[in-house]
Amino acid sequence: MNSHNDLPAASVLHFGPYAFHLRQRLVLDGDRQLRMGGRALDILQVLVERAGRVVRKDQLIALVWPDSVVEEINLRVHIAALRRALGDGENGQRYIVNVPQCGYCFIAPVHGQSVAQGGGETLQAPQHNLPARLTPVIGRDSLVGGLVRQMPLCRLMTLTGPAGVGKSTVALRVAELLLQHYRDGVWYLDLSATEDVPSLLDHLLQTLDTSFESLASRHALLVLDNGERRREACRALVERLLLAAPRLALLVTSREPLQADLETVQPIAPLTVPKASTPGSVDEIMGYSAVQLLVSRARARQHDFSLREQDLPIVGDICRRLDGLPLAIELAAAQVDALALVGLQTQLDNGLRLLSHGRRTAVPRLQSMSAALGWSYQDLRASEQRVLQRLSVFKMAFTEEAALRVLDGAHLTATIERLAAKSWLMVERGSDPLRYRMLNTVRCYVREQLQTSDELSAIVQRHALYQGVNRSGAGVQLAAQRVEQ
């Protein structure tokens, strides 16, 4: 187990008569080694590193069993075994207490000792309010590693990308790994929950229980999630903080850049998917991060799930049709035990209906792909929604010229560029002329919106006519004339 609150400066944690040697994974009472299983040691490490703080039961389960679905009874069994091994409650000494309806807390003083230096000091747990991560992060090691190296040198980093690509997941993982770097902690604020808040700054100060003067002097990292919900207010907030707090760093997630001073933008790409021509072997296809995620989540639902040679074309097709989007893949994987892979592939023909069985504990917008898309779609201008609906007739990448031939409307070029900036359209870099592409999941969603419009048949007809003219080799001028007729 790799706890995200590891304390690398301390090799040994002391409490009561015990010494917990982290690297050797053993607990000594003098010269006697305590007998306890690996899960009990994992639980002990999580609790000891957070001594004095309540650790929620769901957080404990997520950290100790990251790849498994585990009932709370399993946790209670291991906690009981851990207490027996430590003699918890004997001679009046308590180590682990249960906080009803919440979780567990390690209440004994903890001291850390470095093997290289000797001596010890009372450990201070890293300061943060990061939400518990319930599942491991898959396929993002290189990206996360790069961001961890960049953030200490960067004042403002904005992670951008389409709905469901995992911007929040990446940001939180980076924040976890930087807990030891920022002396005054790492702090998280979800801007999606601030729509009725008049002042983001006041809300931030209230959340952190501090004053602006105190915040301005801190060496800390702020994670501002879902910045697109309050884009103008978020930009004003970060620019004020950058001016007033020279040791403060900001990590923002947003579907589009803030266009703020000192901003570094990092687009988050979907996970890698196999091409239709590369099923290869199981080992080869498992080299694609989208497949890794699908298999990992499927195994969490169905413990005996294994990938077979005959499954490879199906798995590749599923990952491609889901665009390599982590949220879509996780929602699909939740149905593997009920539908099997073949059934899952078949159900994808029904649009986004399959992708509607997320975790009940997740926020509503992450319980289905439609909810995730609709949450941002409602923020588009009416003109942007109309253009996006019409562009859904393009199943392949298209140029701006093609869009102009099939669609009509004022300021179409500017609207397409805004949709690309807001991650509704993907830009194929390096192509000449520039080409745009709509993700399959996005196309399914906006096509459903177009179905209710009387424009559908007309747009489809114009697109078919454009394609037919192009294939026949007729000139652009003739195409335009026929479209107008």
**Blockwise average pLDDT, block size 10, the chain, 485 residues:** 42 85 83 85 88 83 80 87 84 77 81 52 61 82 91 94 95 87 89 87 90 93 94 95 95 96 96 85 92 92 86 94 95 90 90 72 72 90 90 90 80 92 91 90 87 66 66 45 38
Q: Encode burial over 361-376: b for 16+ CB neighbours within 10 A, e otherwise.
A: eeeebbbbbbbbbebb
Pinpoint the alpha helices (H) of 154-199: 167-177
Instruction: Give the H/E segment covering residue 358.
Output: none
Q: Which pLDDT score, from 0 to 100, does residue 384 have?
A: 92
Backbone angles phi, psi at 126, to 5 degrees: -55, 140
Q: 12-15 and 111-113 as β-strands: parallel, antiparallel, unpaired?
A: antiparallel
Closest CA to 136 of 68, 186, 200, 209: 68
> Coil, strand or helix: which one is 102?
coil
Q: How far apart are CA 83 and CA 457, in angstroms?
A: 69
DSSP labels for 3-19? Answer: -TT--TT-SEEEETTEE
DSSP classification of residue 269: P
> Coil, strand or helix: which one is 305?
coil
- Whether 463 and 394 have beta carbons less than 8 Å apart is answered as yes
- Whether the model pTM is above 0.85: no
- Whether 189 and 237 have beta carbons less than 8 Å apart is answered as no
Closest CA to 207 of 220, 257, 372, 363: 220
Q: Which pLDDT score, from 0 to 100, does residue 407 have?
A: 83
332 is written with which tokens? 């699909």
CB contact set of 429 (below 8 Å; sequence gap of 6+) = none
Helix, strand, coil fractions of the chain, as percent rounded to 5:
45, 15, 40
3-state SS, 313-341, equals HHHHHHHHHCCCCHHHHHHHHCCHHHHHH
CA 392, 336, 68, 356 dihedral sign is positive
62 is written with which tokens? 């997520």
Q: Which pLDDT score, from 0 to 100, does residue 474 have?
A: 43
318 is written with which tokens? 């599923």
Q: How far apart are CA 31 and CA 19, in angstroms?
A: 10
Q: Which pLDDT score, from 0 to 100, does residue 469 have?
A: 55
Task: Name residue, tokens 């003109």.
Answer: 383
447 is written with which tokens? 């096509």
Task: Name residue, tokens 């879902």.
Answer: 226
Residue type, 452: T
Beta carbons within 10 angstroms of residue 474's beta carbon = 13
Q: Which pLDDT score, from 0 to 100, does residue 151 have?
A: 92
**Beta bridge pairs of residue 21:** 12, 26
